[in-house]
Each structure stands twice: as C-alpha cells, then as structure tokens.
Amino acid sequence: MDALLILGGLLLMLTGLVWLVMRAFGTSLLWGWGSLLPPLTLVYVLRHWRVARGAVGLLALGCIPLVVGLVLLASKDAARLEAILSLDWLKAEQRAPAELDIRLHGELNGQPFLPQHAELIDGVLSLREGEDFFASREVKIRLPQGLVAPIRLDVLPADQGSLPEVEVSWLLPEQDLPEARRLSKGYTLHLDLQALPPNKLNGDFHLVLPPQYATTLSGRLELFSDRLRYRDGRLDTSFDSQETLARVIEDYLQRRFVTRLVQLSEVPLVSFPLERAPLSLTATINGQEQRLQLVLVKGARGWQVDGDRYPALPQPSTAQAAPAAVSTAPASEPSQVQVDRRQRFSLLRLLSAPQQYQNLNMRITKLSGGSAEGRFAGLGEDGSIRLSQQRGGAGQATFTLHPDEISRVELLEP
C-alpha cells in the first residue's frame, strides 16, 4: 500500500509539472523555455497565477499521497526508507574482486567465452562460464595423470598417440542438458603453468579446435589446484567443499587425540549449501582404526566440529621429530596395486554394486541427447542415479537420472 501511495503521488506531481510547463509555453515561447529552470518556474507562477494555479494545485495534490506513503513506509521499514532517501541505489554496484585472474579471449561454439571459474584437479583442467548447475559454456581437458607444476605441454593437430582429451559443452536456453563434443586429436594446445602457492597455478594457455567447432581460446590463465580456499595465507573454513570438511575434521582429531598421526578415510559426500552436517566416518589414529560420529556446523567462523573445545597442538621440536620419523619407517606396509574399476564398468554393475563406485567421477549420456558429468553420490529410493557436481566457488549441487533415461555411463577415474 505504501509503495502505491508513493508512486501515485509522484505520478500526480509529474503530471502537474508537465501541465505547468505546457501553460508556460502557451503564455509565450520565452516563458516556456524559462519554466524549465526551477527559479524561473517560481517566477512564472507568481507572475501568471491565474494561468498556473490549476497545475500548481495538481502538484500540491500529489504531495498528499506521497507524504502519507513515506510515513507508512517509515513506520514499517525505516531502514528501507533511509536507503531510498540516501540515493545509494543510484550508485554503480560494487563488484567483489574476482578470486582468479583470468585474462582469456576467444569463443566457444561461435559465442564469446568468458570463464569465471578455472581449476586443475585430478588431472582435469576445467574452464567454466556460468553459476548454474550446468555451465552455460565449459571446456574440459583431461591431462595425463601425475602432472605436477611446472606444467608445460604442447599438442599440434598432426600429433598422434595418447593425447589429452578435450571436451567442449554448451547449454542452449531450450535444453535441459548441455550438448558436448569430445576430441582426442586434431587440435592445438599450449600449456605453460607455474605453481602459485598455496593452491594455484598460473601461466599461458592457448587452445584452437578444428574450424567446425568454432572454438579458440588464448591468453593468461590462473586456476585452482584443489577445492580449498585461503584468506591471508590461512585456510578459509567458510568455503563449502569436501576438502574443507576433511581439513577441519583432521585438525579436530589431531587436537582431540593430541597426535599428528591422523589419517582420514573418505569423507561422506555432502550436498551444499547447508549449515549442519552429521557425518559417520573412519579414521586411523596412531595406527588404530576408529569409527567416529561427528556433527559439523557452519557459523560465523566457518565450518567446525560441534563441541570442539580442544586446544592447539604444541609445535614439535627438531630433536623429537627425527626419532619419530625413524621409528615409523619400518612400520610402513608395502603398497598395494590399485584395481582399475573402469574395466568392464557398465550401468548394470553400477546398479548392482553402487558402494564400489561411491564418489567417483563419471559421465552419463541420455537417450534424448546431451551428457552430464559429476561424482557418483549413490542411488535414490527409486533406483535413480545421483550425481554431485562442484559449481566453482558456489558449492555443490546434486541431480538424479533414472536408468530408463540413460544410454551410456562412463567411469572417468580408476
């Protein structure tokens, strides 16, 4: 109601002002132009009151609903009225500084491509534009496993053999799933990335796909090497990611059991955003496996374990650190050969033994076309497949696909 009164009052006042200017032009051309200046408008009203009084009356009439509306607004929401009267809404919006310095120029599928998020995690370099669950445009490059900074890689169209796989995807307004194209050769790629502590890489990036893909990208690139964030050199525990929760839990267990010999099993998958996360996990503490039930809560200081009141660990001295390293060396067990679960992987195997593929990265192609990629988050009550995907700096999202809609499922990591 208050907004309608304010708007109605302003419209009446604007109508009265236009009427007054029209009356001034009707008097003479000189008075008409002069009435556009506020001091001369007042002079015109005083000199030609008989002609101007109707327009002035309409102006005064508009002040009544305007004042009543402002009084009602002040009684209900004084802060909103103060913001309106301060005219802060006329100022240009101040954007927060970008987390990454990305200076790339080019296009994807013939459209300008300006990625806001970039990361190189588990051998997958991802450039993403858009904040929604599915990126509006995205480039993924699957690099050889085991690459560490500095990373230098050059691929030419004529090169053969085992080359990085390049995937480009885009989402059209009328589509539910993005369209994707994948290439294993015939493109040009140049990477020259250096480590930027604590968890970034930066350097030159250049990508040119064959002409039919209308995709080129070149410039300077900065990207994250994990899903942690730092503020003033310290871990930002307010960032929503599985890695942040793992760091918080590890620090809590070290202080709780007064030992640095803590090794976590896989942290259960969590769908962000949320403020409370009950977790059941296994950790090896001083060589002994323990089953733990923890509740993580997110407050003003970020994520922390509920009920955490344990002091910080004392810093180990140099004399104590050396014997400890020697004593633990014989206890190390021979490494076990990891089984590659991509072999003979199929939709039937996934449905029959979902626990074997928990939190692994996979790609799903629908019968209707389009594909989706994310980490396996388990099966729904109706047997549907749940995938979780990191949305850059915006946390995680989960979506489901029924097996009847799926034409192909690919496992992307061992």
Cα 290 from Cα 284, distance rounded (Å): 6
| pLDDT tens per residue across span 250-288 | 999 999 988 989 988 888 888 888 899 999 999 998 888
Phi and psi angles of residue 206, each rounded to the nearest 5 degrees, phi first: -150, 125
Nearest Cα residue to 399 out of 179, 303, 371 = 371
**Confidence bin at 361 (pLDDT 50/70/90):** confident
Model confidence pLDDT, tens digit, residues 128-148:
998 887 889 999 999 987 777
Q: Which of 192, 268, 224 is nearest to 98 (CA)?
A: 224
- Which SS3 state, helix, strand or coil, does residue 412 take? coil
Residue ranges covered by each domain of the chain: 2-90, 103-224, 235-312, 347-411
* Calpha distance 283→272 (Å, rounded): 23
Q: Which of 67, 171, 33 is nearest to 75 (CA)?
A: 67
Q: Residue 165: pLDDT above 80?
A: yes
Cβ atoms 296, 305 nearer than 8 A? yes
Give dist(CA 206, CA 184) in Å, integer.
16
Q: What would the CATH number be for the domain defined by 347-411?
A: 2.30.30.100
Strand ranges (E), 288-329: 288-299, 302-305
The C-alpha atoms of residue 364 and residue 405 are separated, in whole angstroms, by 10
User: In this structure, what are the phi and psi dihedrals at residue 44, rounded to the nearest 5 degrees?
Assistant: -65, -40
Taking a C-beta distance cutoff of 8 angstroms, is the pair 211, 175 a contact?
no
Tens digit of each residue's pLDDT (9 = 90 or more) over 89-103 = 666 555 546 789 999
Considering the chain, what is the average pLDDT of its residues?
84
**Cα dist. 27→48, 49, 56, 203 in Å?**
9, 12, 16, 71
Half-sphere exposure of 118 (CA within 13 A, CB side): 23
Token reading at 148:
């560490």
- Alpha-carbon distance of 205 to 151, in angstroms, equals 11
Q: Which pLDDT belongs to residue 247?
A: 93
What does the pLDDT look like over 118-128, one tens digit per residue? 999 988 999 99
Q: pLDDT confidence of 319, banded at 50, 70, 90?
A: very low
Between residues 312 and 92, the one the model is more confident about: 312
Distance CA 204, CA 86 (A): 46
| 332 pLDDT more than 50 | no
pLDDT band at 211 (very low <50, low <70, confident <90, very high): very high
User: What integer pLDDT is reported at residue 222 of this predicted model?
Assistant: 95
Q: Does the pLDDT at position 335 exceed 50? A: no
Per the CB < 8 A criterion, the answer to whether 144 and 250 are in contact is no
SS3 labels along 69-85: HHHHHHHHCHHHHHHHH
Report pLDDT digits (tens) over 374-411. Answer: 888 888 877 788 887 766 555 566 778 888 888 888 88
CB 365 within 8 A of CB 406: yes
**222 vs 229: CA distance, rounded Å:** 14
Note the CATH number of domain 235-312: 3.10.450
86 pLDDT more than 80: no
235-312 matches 347-411 in fold: no
**pLDDT value for 34:** 84
The whole-angstrom separation of Cα 157 and Cα 272 is 41
How would you class 249 by CB atoms within 10 Å of its CB: exposed for 0-12, middle for 13-18, buried for 19 or more?
buried
pLDDT at position 93? 55
Q: What's the pTM?
A: 0.60
Q: What is the mean pLDDT of residues 8-36?
A: 88
